[in-house]
Amino acid sequence: MTRILIAEDEPRIVRFLVKGLQAQGYATATATDGVDALHLARTGDFDLMLLDLGLPGMDGLDVLAELRNQKTVLPVIVLTARTSTDDVVTGLDGGANDYVRKPFRLAELLARIRLQLRTEQRAEEFVLHNGDLSLDLRTRQAHVAGRTIDLSSREFALAEMFMRHPGQVLSREQLLSNVWGYDYDPMSNVVEVYVRYLRNKIGPERISTVRGAGYRLVREADE
């Protein structure tokens, strides 16, 4: 679950944020002064922080500066009531990832949050490639020579297993335990059945049968 730290001292705004964020499925924690905010932000328990600049105890900009001094990479969206663009520039220079002006609409804030969380995840590999075959781990679709192919969840899991091991022979037992789980009947022919389904969808020539050993995704050069 994505955890968001709310550093804000105005109870009305805190209630609004907690309610709005929890309704979207985020977990929240609140700090109502700057010292607490800094302490919680350092714990590493959060995926993102919403940071009010006007906090008692320690100013939001100081909290931010301190975090970045310590090389904390937590994404920070600054909430500012201050109208001066200088504050915004200072905030962004000080390591804020984005800012939202008060009063803000929840929809706008949510959009900014999603953007930050996506940016964080961009480093991960979301798409597996093998020649002109690709598998998108987010949409759970395959793309074959530019065509989009929908896969059932089992077909997808099987395709993912092959795509993570291109050119390797995968035994029936390996496929069963990875795609169907350890308690599946080893005498079952589900592997054969699903390999056939997958071949029908992505092209029969892409998965070769290695007699007595298993199946192999034919490794292809990158496009």
- Smallest separation, CB 52 to Ca ion (Å): 4
Q: Which amino acid is at 73?
A: V
- Smallest separation, CB 74 to Ca ion (Å): 20
Residue of this chain nearest to Ca ion (CB atom): 54
- Smallest separation, CB 21 to Ca ion (Å): 18
Kindly state whether residue 87 participates in binding Ca ion, applying the rule CB under 5 A.
no
Nearer to Ca ion, 91 or 214 (CB): 91
Nearer to Ca ion, 54 or 203 (CB): 54
- Smallest separation, CB 17 to Ca ion (Å): 12
Nearer to Ca ion, 54 or 131 (CB): 54
Q: Candidates 7-15, 16-24, 27-35, 118-126 — which segment interacts with Ca ion by CB under 5 A?
A: 7-15
Burial class (CB in 10 A: 0-12, 13-18, 19+), 7: buried
Nearer to Ca ion, 18 or 169 (CB): 18
Strand stretches in the chain, DSSP E: 3-7, 27-31, 48-52, 76-80, 98-101, 127-130, 133-136, 141-144, 147-150, 169-170, 207-210, 214-217
- Smallest separation, CB 102 to Ca ion (Å): 9
User: 116-155: buried (b, 16+ CB within 10 Å) or exposed (e) per residue?
Assistant: beeebeeeeeeebebbebbbeeeebebbbeeeebebeeeb
- Residue 48 CA to residue 94 CA, distance in Å, equals 16
Q: Which of 155, 162, 187 is nearest to 173 (CA)?
A: 187
Q: Candidates 8-16, 27-35, 95-103, 132-140 — which segment interacts with Ca ion by CB under 5 A?
A: 8-16
Kindly state whether residue 52 participates in binding Ca ion, applying the rule CB under 5 A.
yes
- Residue 114 CA to residue 26 CA, distance in Å, equals 11
Q: Work out which of 7, 9, 36, 50 binds Ca ion, going by CB under 5 A.
A: 9
Cβ–Cβ under 8 Å, residues 5 and 31: yes
Kindly state whether residue 54 participates in binding Ca ion, applying the rule CB under 5 A.
yes
Nearer to Ca ion, 59 or 120 (CB): 59
Give contact residues for Ca ion (rule: CB under 5 A).
Answer: 9, 52, 54
